[in-house]
Amino acid sequence: MTKADLIETVSGTCGFSKKEAADLVECVFSLAKECLESGEDLKISGFGKFEVKQKDSRRGRNPQTGEALEISARRILSFKPSQLLKDAVNKG
């Protein structure tokens, strides 16, 4: 499913015009992005939890050359689905 498909579904299901549905979808994605950029977790009941985690720097190596290198510290985004979502996916 693409963002355009999501907009189309919201428009058809909720009776909004496509412009209103597009604005709504963009607003929800924007709020989620802002929340995650600030380092907060985003929990959506019945769907799952998006969590920002900090990874420390570590030693690694270039697989082509074997050269040792330092992998810098960074933040990563992880998603843990809710039990309801897991159950729904496994039924289908």
Tens digit of pLDDT at every position of the chain (92 positions): 999 999 999 999 999 999 999 999 999 999 999 999 999 999 999 999 999 999 999 999 999 999 999 999 999 999 999 999 999 999 96
Q: Which residue in 24, 54, 50 sits closest to 36, CA to CA?
A: 50
The answer to the question of residue 59 being in a domain is no
The answer to the question of residue 61 being in a domain is no
The answer to the question of residue 23 being in a domain is yes
The answer to the question of residue 2 being in a domain is yes
The answer to the question of residue 91 being in a domain is no
The answer to the question of residue 79 being in a domain is no
The answer to the question of residue 28 being in a domain is yes
Q: Are 81 and 47 in contact (CB under 8 A)?
A: yes
Q: What does the alpha-carbon distance between residue 27 and residue 8 come to, in Å, rounded to a whole number? A: 15
| SS3 category, 43 | strand
User: Domain count of the chain?
Assistant: 1
Domain extent at residue 7: 1-38
Q: In the prediction, which pLDDT does 22 show? A: 96
Q: Which residue in 59, 58, 41 sits closest to 50, CA to CA?
A: 41
Q: What is the DSSP letter of 38?
A: T
The answer to the question of residue 19 being in a domain is yes
